[in-house]
Structure 1
Amino acid sequence: MPDAEELITAAVAASRGTDVRLAERRLDLLVVGTGTADGATAVDAALLRRLAGAVGRLWPRGWQPADLDRLAGRRLGARPARLLRNATAAQRRDHPGPVPSWWDDQLRDLDARVWWDDDARHLTAWAAREGVDRITALREAVEALALVESLPPIAVLRPPPGSATTAPAGGSATTGPVSRGGSRILDRVRALLAKAESTTFPAEAEALTGKAQELMARHSLDEALLAAEAPRTDLPGGVRLGTDPPYAGAKALLVQEVAAANGCESVWSDDLGFATVLGWPADLEAVELLYTSLLVQATTAMLRGRGERRAAAGRRRTRGYDESFLHAFALRIGERLRAASAAANREAAEAAGPERLLPVLAARSEAVQERLETLFPGVTRQRLTVRDAEGWASGTSAADRASLHPGGGTRPGRQVRGGERRPR
């Protein structure tokens, strides 16, 4: 009789194939176990050990716990994603060496913790906790393992746990966004964005968002000038922001527009469901905050526009209208954010002197561009197109209350930078 590892390997290989009957037979063998008295517990222990080992091998290949959780939720569903959180917690427990604080912060945010008493009965306990039978639990564990073992390497944005150094060559540990939860400026920004999300008046939302961008731009400039007073050895960092369907391209465009307004670069990996944003810590914080808020605002405005369209002309929702709306919203909001940043730059230059500020900004921009070329040497561009003139006009109006520009035909969209592994 095969041992537990052999049964798992066979089940995973069958799950990747196209023979459904073979996959079910392999799953049945897992249910039976090794044929010994403790066959089921041996399978449970081996599955958790295999899952923990597989997720541990992802970390040096660029993946972070939040990345894995987002992708697992997208491809497998919420329940298998929770199973992988358990595997991540087990991996962290079994490798208790020093890790950066941001790593444990991600685990805490995901509630990835060891809650079970015995690894040999983990899957049984998880099935009971989730309210599923053993066959379902085994099937989802096999699917989760097949996913994890098939994931490609991605850009290493931060040194993973277990690295020989605490940073990339020539860098320091501060290569990612630094949380500044206690910052009074960021508290004001969050308050402004919360008001922008809750108001029913588009003009007010735009004004509040513009003010938030202005504050973030000033905050970034202050930090840039402060950092310029001492030689720095760190590199620009990065974050990954989800761009899940529907309308993943429109979300990637919104990320790109917000990133550009804050001195960052973005690359979209459509097949993996995220955009990678590269920049300095304060700028990355701004992009995260603004993108999250603007995505809520854009969705709310789109739904409102869809309702008004239905009431006025009796037209139902169309994908073309929604996509065009979101593309236009992203582009127009990008213009507004860049205008706010430019105003903040002019004020800062007047206060600090252009001869002091401009070289600092140029050096930071050059460093971000170099980081982009290092991490994504094969990047390509994809042109997004807009095919619904009414959606385009409504999205532009929602973003800036501008005059409508009705018309037919296809309007070219902004090019979105795509990751090198995205098939075209």
Structure 2
Amino acid sequence: MSTPSSVDRAFETALYADTDATLDTGASLLAADPSADAELILRGEDFIAAAWRRGWQPADVVRIVRRELDETHVRLVSGLILGGEARRKQTRGRRWAAQLDELDPAPVRTDRFSHATAVLELYRLLLRLPPLEPLDEPLDHPHHHRLHGTAEDRRPESRMLTRIRALLAKAEATGFPEEAEALTGKAQELMARHSIDEALLAARASAGDAPGACRIGVDPPYEAAKATLLDAVATANRCRAVWNEPLGFSTVVGFEPDLEAVELLHTSLLVQATAAMTKAEAAARAAGRRRTKTFRQSFLAAYAQRIGTRLASATETQVTDDLLPVLATREVAVTARTDRMFPETTTTRLRGVNDAAGWNQGAEAADRAQVEPRQRLP
């Protein structure tokens, strides 16, 4: 009978109990045995591979580690993810590759005991990750052959998206509301054109295109209001969003051009909303009025509601009668995919939205960021 390795003994002692005493004992075992380092890394990569099998993606894992632990653990898990991906050499698509590009695996210098403690804390978390809804259809699902190798996997980012990113970056940077409105409006116009062109191209080619899905982080504070904003942007772009409050993200289901639009526009509007809220609070303090958490919650809730109304109106102006059958077919596909992923959902009410000044100023900020109706696309 073989003798258990230091890693096995440390895991048996520390991974399946939550006390500091067992964690210290396990870390001491690992710190005292430098020969265990390579095995410890390989075991960590196995935990990461298990997370992939349970539906997690790199950004999801990093998000939950940052939420539950600290930046040292984020660096550790980033190194494990990149090491495992390099070892397995699997191609998983452009969105997955973009998540890998965001990782920073630079190690944090510390003593062996502190390092071992951080590793065990990380592995405890990885071990307890719950299953998530897979973003790809299962291999035996009748829609899988249409999802596998989708346009998201095949093509580089278009010039149109590069232009949209540049417009939104300018909208976020300007201090003039009218300029931000114009830039955001132009970006939404390009998004609508890009989405409709892709839908028509797929329909004319009889392509077996199908909806995909992505996860977008919804970070504290004011998560409910931020999730509401994301839902409004998703709905306006013919997507569906489902918020997972405990794990801090929403899953957005839709066709790839629309998912790209949601990611870009939501990020930009959140930046614009935060800047507008900060400016409103500064003005209130200068006038001698005290602003509270309720003010900020009400501000963001009003912003989300008004933006949803404005975006929905803008979307309608882009749709001519000849497009309705194509878009209706895609809407049915998005709904069906969402229902398969989330057969049971509940609605959430926003609480703490009772500051009239916050609500009014949030609505006014949304009006400044709103997309004006434009001429229909040719």
Shared fold (TM-score, shorter chain, > 0.5): yes
Query: Does residue 260 of structure 2 align to residue 294 of structure 1?
Result: no
- The answer on whether the counterparts of 1:321 and 1:391 sit within 8 Å (CA) in structure 2 is yes
Letter in 1 for 2:346: T
Query: Does residue 59 of structure 2 align to residue 66 of structure 1?
Result: yes
- The answer on whether the counterparts of 2:147 and 2:212 sit within 8 Å (CA) in structure 1 is no
Which residue of 133, 136, 153 corresponds with 2:111?
Answer: 133
Residues 7-18 of structure 1 correspond to what in structure 2 (within 5 A)? 7-14=10-17, 16=18
3-state SS of paired residue (2:144)? coil
Structure 1 stretch displaced more, 294-303 or 205-214:
205-214
Query: Does residue 246 of structure 2 align to residue 271 of structure 1?
Result: yes
Which residue of 76, 80, 91 corresponds with 1:83?
Answer: 76
- The answer on whether the counterparts of 1:157 and 1:175 sit within 8 Å (CA) in structure 2 is no
Residues 71-150 of structure 1 correspond to what in structure 2 (within 5 A)? 71-111=64-104, 129-150=107-128
Name stretches of at least 5 consecutive residues in structure 2 with no aligned partner. 370-378
Residues 67, 262 of structure 1: alpha-carbon distance in 2 compared, 3 angstrom cutoff = same
Query: Does residue 163 of structure 2 align to residue 188 of structure 1?
Result: yes
Name 2:349's counterpart in structure 1: 383
3-state SS of paired residue (2:349)? strand
Name stretches of at least 5 consecutive residues in structure 1 with no aligned partner. 33-38, 113-125, 403-424
Name 2:375's counterpart in structure 1: none
Residues 9, 50 of structure 1: alpha-carbon distance in 2 compared, 3 angstrom cutoff = farther
Residues 37-76 of structure 1 correspond to what in structure 2 (within 5 A)? 39-42=33-36, 44-76=37-69
Which residue of 316, 335, 356 corresponds with 1:342?
Answer: 316
How many Å separate the matches in 2 of 1:209 and 1:357?
Answer: 24
- The answer on whether the counterparts of 1:206 and 1:399 sit within 8 Å (CA) in structure 2 is no
3-state SS of paired residue (1:381)? coil
- The answer on whether the counterparts of 2:146 and 2:208 sit within 8 Å (CA) in structure 1 is yes
- The answer on whether the counterparts of 2:56 and 2:134 sit within 8 Å (CA) in structure 1 is yes
Letter in 1 for 2:30: L
Letter in 2 for 1:328: A
Kindly provide the CA deviation profile for residues 6-62 of structure 1, in whole angstroms up to 9, marking residues without a partner as x: 222321123x3xx33343333333333xxxxxx3322x2232121100100111221
Name 2:131's counterpart in structure 1: 153
How many Å separate the matches in 1 of 2:114 and 2:182?
Answer: 50
3-state SS of paired residue (2:251)? strand
Which residue of 207, 222, 226 corresponds with 1:251?
Answer: 226
How many Å separate the matches in 2 of 1:78 and 1:28?
Answer: 22
Letter in 2 for 1:381: T
Kindly provide the CA deviation profile for residues 184-240 of structure 1, in whole angstroms up to 9, marking residues without a partner as x: 332332222122111212233223212221221121111111111122323200111
Letter in 1 for 2:324: L
Query: Does residue 359 of structure 2 align to residue 392 of structure 1?
Result: yes
Residues 269, 200 of structure 1: alpha-carbon distance in 2 compared, 3 angstrom cutoff = same
Query: Does residue 5 of structure 2 align to residue 3 of structure 1?
Result: yes
Residues 179, 105 of structure 1: alpha-carbon distance in 2 compared, 3 angstrom cutoff = farther
Name 2:372's counterpart in structure 1: none
Name 1:35's counterpart in structure 2: none
Residues 101, 398 of structure 1: alpha-carbon distance in 2 compared, 3 angstrom cutoff = closer
Identity of aligned residues (%): 45
How many Å separate the matches in 1 of 2:91 and 2:155?
Answer: 23
- The answer on whether the counterparts of 1:167 and 1:173 sit within 8 Å (CA) in structure 2 is no
How many Å separate the matches in 2 of 1:340 and 1:372?
Answer: 24
Letter in 2 for 1:395: G
Could you state the TM-score of these two structures normalised by the residue count of structure 2? 0.89
How many Å separate the matches in 1 of 2:242 and 2:151?
Answer: 16
Name 1:224's counterpart in structure 2: 199
What value does the CA root-mean-square deviation take over the aligned residues? Answer: 2.5
Residue 93 (structure 1) shift: 3.1
- The answer on whether the counterparts of 1:177 and 1:239 sit within 8 Å (CA) in structure 2 is no
3-state SS of paired residue (1:26)? helix
Name 2:325's counterpart in structure 1: 359
Could you state the TM-score of these two structures normalised by the residue count of structure 1? 0.80
Residue 64 (structure 1) shift: 1.0
3-state SS of paired residue (1:130)? coil
Residues 62, 182 of structure 1: alpha-carbon distance in 2 compared, 3 angstrom cutoff = closer
How many Å separate the matches in 2 of 1:134 and 1:388?
Answer: 51
- The answer on whether the counterparts of 2:95 and 2:152 sit within 8 Å (CA) in structure 1 is no
Name 1:214's counterpart in structure 2: 189
3-state SS of paired residue (2:350)? strand
How many Å separate the matches in 2 of 1:47 and 1:291?
Answer: 39
How many Å separate the matches in 1 of 2:149 and 2:305?
Answer: 31
